[in-house]
Amino acid sequence: MMGRICVVTSQSKAYYSLVSRLRKAGLPFVSVVPETRHPPCDLVLTTRAEAGSLGPSALPVELLDDDPFVFKGQVLSRLDGGREALLIGVDPGRRIGMAAYYGSTSLELRTCDSAEGLCARVTAFVRGVPSRRSLVRIGNGNSALAAGLALSVADRVPSVTIEVVDEAGTSARGVKMRGVQGDQRAAARIAFRKGVVFSGTPRNRT
């Protein structure tokens, strides 16, 4: 069960920035007027200037990512102390499906038009969201394309573990995800399917 998130700040710009990201991330929250009585909060989102007076659960907006999906992962990680794994599933193809999860909670479903776009999203999540481990799982429907994507990810984010996953059944239509594109649906299934650790060598940068 997710803890209670409270937004506590007298600074209007910070308040609207936090509320906008929370809404885009689909995270429930309570707005609290500073220095008033309120229900207990597991996480207090505020500003750096105000955090000192709000106790150990305070998290300044200045430390959070502007991207609402990375922001969501950061908030969830802070709530549970970073105990879950960051899982990213990738469905290779002309259009690359991507699904990012913190534990079992969805952070983002996206279709990328290039390997570079995929790597940028993977980098944002891995570097931005504290987690027990970061794992990228790539479907093997096209083995050459999967290997190329794996090398690109390993080159950009060497700290991540990469697995190549058997794609069989990931594109099946029996399980529906309302409003989700097929490549994103497949990526979501790939994210939770154990694969073989990729052992390729990243390309040397010039």
Band (pLDDT 50/70/90 cuts) for residue 51 is: very high
pLDDT, the chain, mean: 90
Phi, psi at 177, each rounded to 5°: -125, 105
List pLDDT tens digits, range 113-148.
999 999 999 999 999 999 999 999 999 988 899 999
pTM (two decimals) = 0.89
CB 109 within 8 A of CB 54: no
Summarize the confidence of residues 44-59 as an average pLDDT.
94
- Sorted by sequence, the CB contacts under 8 Å of residue 86 that are 6+ apart come out as 73, 100, 101, 102, 125, 126, 129, 131, 133, 134, 135
- Using CB atoms within 10 Å of the CB of residue 142, give its burial: 0 to 12 exposed, 13 to 18 middle, 19+ buried: middle
CA gap 14, 16 in Å, rounded: 6
Band (pLDDT 50/70/90 cuts) for residue 62 is: very high
β-bridge partners, 5: 43
* pLDDT of the residue at 179: 54
Residue 50 predicted with pLDDT over 80: yes
Query: Could you tell me the CA-to-CA distances from 191 to 25, 169, 188 in Å, in that order?
Result: 20, 13, 5
Using CA of residue 70, residue 188, residue 5, residue 40, what is the dihedral sign? negative
* pLDDT of the residue at 174: 46
Lowest mean pLDDT among 22-31, 106-115, 144-153, 180-189: 180-189
DSSP 66: S
